[in-house]
Structure 1
């Protein structure tokens, strides 16, 4: 699809990600970016957006799709591999037992989502090391920004949310979230227009996770008042941006 045929949602995704990446100097010439691609709408849109950014950047970057199947559907990662290959992106796919173990009787101390996410991130860090990647990109969006803030506030007593960019291992790896300012409804509209091969999340906790319940509570509290929702989103964006700048710059 040529650039002049992009819809508003598609242009919004590309422009918002580009502005945030430029504002925080997320990437540099020669950056090697591992893109965590689960097969859901956020991560597939992230890969598509980064491919668009890659074409218009004035310097060279490399992309690699990293797909870890949590084990609920052993075939689920194959559509990610096909999509990445069709786009000319190198891909690493791996079948794990992260989700199965997290939902098993062996996990008695942590929530299923916490353990699965922890093991997935640990493995992604290992892959970034093994492939000599400089960045790891996640498809977190503005809905995640809100739910993470309230989860930390209610459960941990912390005024804290997701950061657009984080440094790990003494700066050897940067975690970036280029879609963090975008609401999921915009991402979904763009994904439909790009005809991305989004598959339903097979995780049994997907619809009942704490993150999902927290965001549903937030939407209920806002009701039909779009101003309330926008005020919270804008406040969290400013706070996350200011904190990131103070921390890294």
Structure 2
């Protein structure tokens, strides 16, 4: 575990604890500093700190390029990293980076003004990938794949230019689970978004510090913070994308079967290769009676599932209030 970030995470008071110093309150009626909001803020920061510690995402002297699209996820990521940097006993540089893809109507002044208002170092890059995508992809077809490849190449280039040792992306737990099911249903692979990986060109380490944070909590945080959200006119407008179908499925499970999504998320870190069928991960051909496996033969046992009377309901300690 990354000890410095584990210490910073431990330094956070419990979610229901009263702050040692009263947080400044702007005007009467302003809810952004309510107890509910403070608990939510601490929970998100604790989740980010735990992910950084668990996967050793950031260390002393790192330069972290935070990709900020103008959406709720990347704003929240930047906010959490800036807050944690204040408490972490290691020094690291944060550079916010935005790619202006020249989408029609894109408010180019919004992000620079926001970055300057919070005092973060930033880099705005302008590349007309919008025209390329619209020219290459037929109307009605999914633009995500080509758009993602173009963005990725530009992000790698900029990371190299500013000397970034880490590229931080705003994907959260729900993105990771959606990717898992997309790959299972349409790609024939058990594969999700990893919290940490090496970039395609082998030059950078990509991290996803929001790996333990849920989209619902991020959305509540972003609403209360009143981030200047900039909608995407490409993938954001494609209601028939397969990812949206997967999202709807998972949201239905979350409503109808409390705890199911949390269980699936836990499963990502508890893989048992000897009980799958990938010969590259487990030597099935060489298996003998003397081979030690992680779990025994339960082929003839009924799976241990909770009954209707003993199902554990996982309830958030946060309300829907902001």
TM-score by length of 1: 0.86
Of the three residues 216, 222, 231, the one matched with 2:263 is 231
After superposition, what is the alpha-carbon deviation per residue over 1:112-162, rounded to whole angstroms, capped at 9, x for unaligned? 110001100110000001111101000001110111001111121010101
1:13 aligns with 2:44: yes
Of the three residues 208, 212, 228, the one matched with 2:244 is 212
Structure 2 CA distance for aligned equivalents of residues 69 and 237 of structure 1: 36
Distance 1:204 1:96, change over 3 A: same
Displacement, 1:111? 3.8
Correspondence list, 1:182-197, <5 A: 182-197=213-228
- 1:38 matched residue in structure 2: 69
After superposition, what is the alpha-carbon deviation per residue over 1:8-48, rounded to whole angstroms, capped at 9, x for unaligned? 21111111000110122111111001010000000011111
User: SS at 2:259's partner residue?
Assistant: helix
Displacement, 1:74? 5.0
User: SS at 2:256's partner residue?
Assistant: coil
Structure 1 CA distance for aligned equivalents of residues 260 and 218 of structure 2: 21
- Would the aligned equivalents of 1:167 and 1:174 in 2 still touch at CA under 8 Å? yes
Structure 1 CA distance for aligned equivalents of residues 177 and 231 of structure 2: 23
- 1:150 matched residue in structure 2: 181
- Would the aligned equivalents of 2:97 and 2:122 in 1 still touch at CA under 8 Å? yes
1:91 aligns with 2:122: yes
- 1:59 matched residue in structure 2: 90
User: SS at 2:206's partner residue?
Assistant: strand
5+ residue gaps, structure 2:
1-20, 24-32, 272-322
Structure 1 CA distance for aligned equivalents of residues 130 and 201 of structure 2: 30
After superposition, what is the alpha-carbon deviation per residue over 1:161-204, rounded to whole angstroms, capped at 9, x for unaligned? 01111123786421000001111010111122323222333336
- Would the aligned equivalents of 1:39 and 1:77 in 2 still touch at CA under 8 Å? no
User: SS at 1:175's partner residue?
Assistant: strand
Of the three residues 91, 94, 100, the one matched with 2:131 is 100
Structure 2 CA distance for aligned equivalents of residues 60 and 222 of structure 1: 39
**Number of aligned positions between the proteins:** 237
Distance 1:194 1:217, change over 3 A: same
Distance 1:173 1:3, change over 3 A: farther
1:179 aligns with 2:179: no
Distance 1:3 1:94, change over 3 A: farther
Correspondence list, 1:103-118, <5 A: 103-104=134-135, 106-107=136-137, 111-118=142-149
Structure 2 CA distance for aligned equivalents of residues 44 and 80 of structure 1: 10
After superposition, what is the alpha-carbon deviation per residue over 1:76-116, rounded to whole angstroms, capped at 9, x for unaligned? 34211111122221211123222332233x236x8411000
Structure 1 CA distance for aligned equivalents of residues 67 and 235 of structure 2: 21
Distance 1:3 1:77, change over 3 A: farther
- Would the aligned equivalents of 2:64 and 2:93 in 1 still touch at CA under 8 Å? yes
More displaced stretch, 160-169 vs 229-238: 229-238
Displacement, 1:231? 1.7
Correspondence list, 1:63-78, <5 A: 63-78=94-109
Larger RCO (CA under 8 A, 6+ residues apart): 1
State which structure, 1 or 2, has the greater radius of gyration over its C-alpha atoms: 2
